[in-house]
């Protein structure tokens, strides 16, 4: 299972790194989530410079794709030359977006009439684009998922893992990362949110 975590300049570290860290807990099962960017390096909203592990086009052949959010997402949504490099296929891929990344899903026509989650800053932009925004941390329909709020990246990762690796493997991966003293409660709460939306291959 290869996963492209789309990461653009101005990216939110919590979106990209939490999802990447959780998804790679399934490395033993052949999972590999990688930072995927338009250029060789990308700079976060807090000035952290990261080397891309994969070029943007990797997303086209990946098994799953996550659009992270960031300061410049609205400008990226208007950059046709950049977005034209993406040819995603919801019939084959799981596709998810975090906060302002949801705007890119809308721009690419991947949301269709799906309701979507996002952050408070992005909400008016999505409403303007004709998207129905729901007041929830996570929502999915079929292979398309969205999450709102930086820490909601855990829901995107849990949904992808449970959809493709099953509940048992996902539970073990999440237990490893969950806070000590709260592990079972934490994982149960996470899975309660994503279970109604699971997509099984």
Beta strands in the chain (DSSP E): 2-6, 32-37, 41-43, 49-51, 54-55, 64-67, 94-98, 138-141, 144-147
Count up the domains in the chain and report the number: 1
pLDDT digits (tens, 9 = 90+) for 142-181: 999 999 999 999 999 999 999 999 999 999 999 999 999 9
Q: Quickly tell me which residue has 């596709």 as its tokens.
A: 95
Cα 37–Cα 134–Cα 97 angle in degrees, nearest 5:
10
CATH number at residue 58: 3.40.50.880
Listed residue (119, 110, 114, 13) closest to 68, CA to CA? 13
pTM beyond 0.75: the answer is yes
Domain that holds residue 92: 2-197
The structure tokens listed for 5 are: 């975590």
Listed residue (6, 14, 2) closest to 104, CA to CA? 6
Averaged pLDDT in 10-residue chunks for the chain of 201 residues? 97 95 96 97 97 98 96 91 94 96 94 92 91 95 95 96 96 96 97 92 57
């Amino acid at each position: 299972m290869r996963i492209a975590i789309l990461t653009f300049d101005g990216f939110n570290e919590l979106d990209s790194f939490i999802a990447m860290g959780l998804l790679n807990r399934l490395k033993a099962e052949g999972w590999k989530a990688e930072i995927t960017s338009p250029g060789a390096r990308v700079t976060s909203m807090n000035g952290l410079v990261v080397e891309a592990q994969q070029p943007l086009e990797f997303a086209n052949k990946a098994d799953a794709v996550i659009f992270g959010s960031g300061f410049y997402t609205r400008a990226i949504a208007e950059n046709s030359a950049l977005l034209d490099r993406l040819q995603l296929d919801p019939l084959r891929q799981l596709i998810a977006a975090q906060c302002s990344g949801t705007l890119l899903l809308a721009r690419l026509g991947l949301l269709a009439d799906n309701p979507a989650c996002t952050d408070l800053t992005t909400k008016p932009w999505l409403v303007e684009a004709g998207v129905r925004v729901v007041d929830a941390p996570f929502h999915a329909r079929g292979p398309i998922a969205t999450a709102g709020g930086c820490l909601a990246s855990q829901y995107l990762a849990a949904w992808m893992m449970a959809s493709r690796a099953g509940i048992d493997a996902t539970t073990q991966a999440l237990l490893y990362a969950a806070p000590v003293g709260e592990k079972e409660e934490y994982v149960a709460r996470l899975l309660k949110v994503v279970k109604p939306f699971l997509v099984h291959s």
